[in-house]
Amino acid sequence: MASPKSNGPEAEAGPWKLVMENDGPIKSPIKVKYTKLFINGEFVDSVSGKTFETFDPRTEEVITSVSEATKEDVDLAVKAARAAFDHGPWPRMPGSERGRILNKFADLIQQHSEELALLETWDGGKPLDLVKVIDLPKSISVLQYYAGYADKIHGMTLKMNGAYQGYTLQEPIGVCGQIIPWNFPLIMLFTKIAPALACGCTLVVKPAELTPLTALYCAHLSVEAGIPPGVLNVLPGFGAIAGAAISSHMDIDKIAFTGSTQVGRLIMEGAAKSNLKDVTLELGGKSPLIIMDDFDIDKAVEIATVATFTNMGQVCIAGTRVFVQGGIYDKFVKKIRERAKKIVIGDPFKGGVQHGPQINKIQFDKILKYIQYGKIDGANLLIGGHSLGGKGFYIEPTIFIGVEDNMRISQEEIFGPVMSILKFKTIEEVIERGNKTIYGLGAGVLTKNINVANRVARSLRAGTMWINTYLIIENDAPFGGYKMSGIGREYGPYGLQNYLQVKSVITPLHESPWL
C-alpha cells in the first residue's frame, strides 16, 4: 500500500506535469534473478532467514524481497574473504592475470548493460537515459582503468648508507569492508571494488538496502569473469546491523564508506574501537558554485542546472549554493527560473525524462521539510517546492532566492532538487562566504578572468574545484573532501593507495658491526 504523502509548502503550483506512458508507469521491466547473499562464490540465504523488501520509488510498490545480512552473515563472509586472502590465488597471481580477469568483468558488464540499466532505474528511480549514458559507461570504464593498473604496482629502491641496501614493497592491505551508497549504486560499487581488486585485496561489500539489486547481479557476473570464491562477497542489509558489523569486525583490515557525515562518524568509531582499521570516507557536501558577472549568462544557467538538479539533486557534490555576482544577478534569476520549467519530470523509464522520483519516503519528507525551512527562515521561493503525482516520490525542481548564509537551506545538506541563490559583490567576499561551511567536497567558479579563476581555485577549501564547468568526475582525477566531507581520495593512483601497505625491506651488503 502506498504511504501517505507529507503536506508540502503552501505555494503556487509549478508548471510541471508528470510525463508517463499512456497506461501509467511501466510495470516489472525485468525479472529479478538474484536476491540472496553472495558469500564465497555462491548465493545463499541469510543465517537468520530474514529478508527485507526493496521498493520502486515511482509507485511505492514492492519490487522483490532480498536476503538480509546480519552479524552472523558478516562473520561468514569475512571468514571466506580471509581464507581467500591468506591462502587463495588472488593476492598471489601476477598482476597481469588480475587485470585480464577485471577486463573480462568489464566486458560482461557491457554485455549485460541493458539488464543492469533497467534494474538500476527500477530500484533507484534514476532516469534510464541517464543510466545508459553515465552510470553504465562510467562503471565499465573505472573497472577497465584499474585493470590496467593491476600489473603496474611497484615499490622503490632505497639509497641507504654504504653498509645496506633496501627496497619497498606495495602489498595489498588485506580484507576490505566496503559500504556503498544508494544514489549511484553501480558507479560507487565499481569505484570501491575495482582498485581493491586490482591491488589483490579480498572484499566484503554491503550495497545500500535501498538499491541492492545491481550489486547482486554484478556478483553473479564476477564468477563468470573468473574472480575466485571468497574474493568478492556481497551482503545486502541495513547499516545499523550489517554495516556496523563490518566497520567493527576484528578481521577486516580496511573500510571504505560513501554516505552521510553522520554515518561516517559511526564508521570511524567502529573502526577505532575494534582493530584500528584504516578508513576512507567520502561524505556530505554543500558545495558553492560562484558565477562572476563577466561569464556568459546562458552558459552559467546551464551549468548551474546540471550542478544542482542532476539525479534529482541526490549528489553529494551538487552545487546547491549558487553565488551570483550583483551585475548579472537579476538576469540570472529570471533565466534560471525559465530553465527550470523545461526540466522533464516523470517515469524514469520513459525516454526524454530528466527528473525521476526521490529514492524513498524518508528522503522525500526530508526535502519537503527543508523547503519549509527555507520559507520559515525568510528565503523567497522562486519556483517549485511541491510534490507531484498521487504515487511516487516526485518533487519539483525548487529554487530559492534571497538566501542568507546562516539559513538552514544554505548550511545543511538537503540531498534533493533545491537550489539556493545568493548574491555577492566582491571576490574577497565570496571566497569568505564560500568557505563558510563545515563541508569541503567540491566547488566551482565561472569566469573569463584566469587570474580570478586561479585565485578562487586556490582559496576555496574543497577537494575538487571546477573552473567554467561542473560535475566532471574522471577516473584519473582524485576525488574526496576537506573538513567534514571525508578522509582520503578515490580515483586515479590515489584510489590504489587506499588498498596498499608499504613495507621496507633492508639487507646488509657486507658484514656490519651492528649485526
* Residue 121 Cα to chain centre, angstroms: 16
At residue 5, the pLDDT reads 45
Non-local CB neighbours of 103 within 8 Å, separated by 6+ positions: 143, 144, 147
How far is the CA of 330 from the CAs of 326, 421, 422, in angstroms? 8, 11, 11
Q: Which domains occur in the chain, in start order?
A: 37-283+489-497 (3.40.605.10), 288-467 (3.40.309.10)
d(CA 479, CA 488): 8
d(CA 490, CA 494): 6
At residue 514, the pLDDT reads 58
Cα pseudo-dihedral 174, 177, 183, 189, rounded to 10: 40
Neighbouring-strand partners of residue 257:
179, 281
Non-local CB neighbours of 512 within 8 Å, separated by 6+ positions: 163, 164
- Options 60, 282, 413, 490, the catalytic residue: 282
At residue 161, the pLDDT reads 83
Q: Which residue has the cell 541469510?
A: 46
At residue 11, the pLDDT reads 44
Q: Is 199 a catalytic residue?
A: no
At residue 449, the pLDDT reads 98
Q: Is 201 a catalytic residue?
A: no
Given a cut of 70, the residues of the chain with pLDDT beneath it are: 1-13, 23, 511-515
Instruction: Retrieve residue 43's grid coordinates.
Output: 548465493
Q: Which residue has the cell 538499491?
A: 211
Tens digit of each residue's pLDDT (9 = 90 or more) over 324-357: 999 999 999 999 999 999 999 999 999 999 999 9
- Options 176, 199, 218, 316, the catalytic residue: 316
At residue 6, the pLDDT reads 40
Give me the phi and psi of 406, to 5 degrees please: -90, 0
The SS3 assignment for 464 reads strand
Please work out, in degrees rounded to the nearest 5, the angle formed at the alpha carbon of residue 101 by the alpha carbons of 136 and 117. 15
At residue 515, the pLDDT reads 56
At residue 159, the pLDDT reads 87
At residue 3, the pLDDT reads 36
Tens digit of each residue's pLDDT (9 = 90 or more) over 492-509: 999 999 999 999 999 988
d(CA 125, CA 122): 6
DSSP-assigned letters across all residues of 466-484: EES------TTS-B--EET
